[in-house]
Amino acid sequence: MKKIAVFTSGGDSPGMNACLRAVVRTGIRNDLEVFGIMEGYKGMIAGEFRQMDTQSVSNIIQRGGTILKSARCKAFITKEGRKKAYLQLKKVGIDGIVAIGGDGTFTGADIFMKEYPDIKIVGCPGTIDNDLYGTDFTIGFDTAVNTAMDAIDRIKDTANSHNRLFFVEVMGRDVGYIALRSGIATGAEAVLLPERHTDYDRLITEIEKNYRLKNRSIIVVVAEGDEMGGALKVAKTVGKKFKELDIRVSILGHIQRGGRPTALERVNASWMGMEAVKALLEGDKGVMIGMVNNKVKRTTFEKAIKNKKTMNPYLVELAHLLA
């Protein structure tokens, strides 16, 4: 192996730059030529390759987002699009690729390798959702939780000042990991998750109990994929029951994707990037680099995508117990 490439794909997440930096510098230390592919699969098809050196990734570990940019690419879904990408890679002489992204990125990589087995691809899990099997934390998750926690803490200040009931929506269309951890960390009175049936009667009871105890400022954290339909719909439904309450909704949205990555994020992302290059040098391919119990683990793309990551029941119990 002489030349490798790295790209970021799908939704951006804090820590992608730290992972990218580790890939580039580990590759160079092992006498590899390293190329960055701009805008993910879109740039691969267009042949937008940029040769990287150690200075290319200097002073980026603290930056959110991705210096290689990211984009969705419908053309890569087609066989013609993947063929164009392959020809572009062969033109430069790329032997291996590190793909930083989520399940969509790995699905595309898995299909691509089956069609063109001479290109080896290893993945690093870059998504704030923490929804990939084979790793305790994905790149971006810890920062997203801390961002949500900081925002909810600020909302709690104003809720206390005005005796308000706030429904705070965090990202999590299919999974509620951000909601669960940020809810526990901020002492939320309730946390609504896509993985759990929302017990509307229990929610009403909890709100009534808090008001009986003179706790007139209440925070309910809602994952956007909750079965009741997100914070706006939940607030509207609850508002019909408590017409006398001052109810407000705050949707945190894309602020959770940006910002400076946490220390944990930077270390884990760097570790994953280094291990991804090592895997390529060892001839491995079609695997995602994860962290399980603070140790590196390689999981096949197929398992990482298809196996459902189970939510820790003790954390769910903790959220209910401490509410």
164-187, pLDDT tens digit by residue?
999 999 999 999 999 999 999 999
Whether residue 300 is found in the same domain as residue 211? no
- Which residues, including other chains, have CB under 8 Å from residue 217's CB and lie 6 or more apart? 156, 159, 160, 162, 163, 164, 165, 166
104-124, pLDDT tens digit by residue?
999 999 999 999 999 999 999
For position 105, what pLDDT does the model report? 96
Whether residue 174 is found in the same domain as residue 33? no
Query: Which residue segment(s) compose the domain that 39 sits in?
Result: 3-140+261-306
Residue 312 lies in a domain: no
Residue 82 lies in a domain: yes
157 catalytic residue (yes or no): no
Whether residue 276 is found in the same domain as residue 182? no
- Burial of 226 by CB count in 10 Å (0-12 exposed, 13-18 middle, 19+ buried)? buried
60-91, pLDDT tens digit by residue?
999 999 999 998 899 999 999 999 999 999 99
Give me the mean pLDDT over the 284-289 stretch.
98
Computed on alpha carbons and rounded to an integer, the radius of gyration of the chain in Å comes to 22
Whether residue 153 is found in the same domain as residue 94? no
Give 191's DSSP letter: E
At residue 237, does pLDDT exceed 80? yes
Question: Which CATH number characterizes residue 172's domain?
Answer: 3.40.50.460
Residue 316 lies in a domain: no
For position 171, what pLDDT does the model report? 97
- CA pair distance 129, 125, nearest whole angstrom: 10
Residue 314 lies in a domain: no
Residue 216 lies in a domain: yes
Residue 272 lies in a domain: yes
Domain count, the chain: 2
Question: Which CATH number characterizes residue 89's domain?
Answer: 3.40.50.450
For position 208, what pLDDT does the model report? 86
Whether residue 130 is found in the same domain as residue 148? no
- CA pair distance 138, 13, nearest whole angstrom: 9
> Which of 112-116, 243-247, 282-286 shows the lowest mean pLDDT across its residues?
243-247
At residue 211, does pLDDT exceed 80? no
Whether residue 130 is found in the same domain as residue 172? no
Residue 25 or residue 227, greater confidence: 25
For position 233, what pLDDT does the model report? 95
For position 323, what pLDDT does the model report? 79
- Pick from 177, 181, 188: nearest CA to 153: 188
Whether residue 280 is found in the same domain as residue 193? no
Whether residue 265 is found in the same domain as residue 136? yes
Listing DSSP states for 238-270 in one string gives HHHH-TTS-EEEEE-GGGGT-SPPPHHHHHHHH
At residue 243, does pLDDT exceed 90? no
Mean pLDDT, the chain, whole residue set? 95
User: Tokens 């992204």 — which residue?
Assistant: 101
For position 219, what pLDDT does the model report? 95
Residue 323 lies in a domain: no
For position 245, what pLDDT does the model report? 85
Whether residue 7 is found in the same domain as residue 134? yes
- CA pair distance 19, 280, nearest whole angstrom: 15
Residue 161 or residue 14, greater confidence: 14
Catalytic option among 12, 53, 110, 129: 129
Whether residue 273 is found in the same domain as residue 124? yes
User: 165 forms bridges with which residues in the sheet?
Assistant: 218, 247
Give me the mean pLDDT over the 295-313 stretch.
94
Whether residue 126 is found in the same domain as residue 268? yes
Residue 45 lies in a domain: yes
Whether residue 152 is found in the same domain as residue 253? yes
pLDDT category of residue 207 using cuts at 50, 70 and 90 = confident
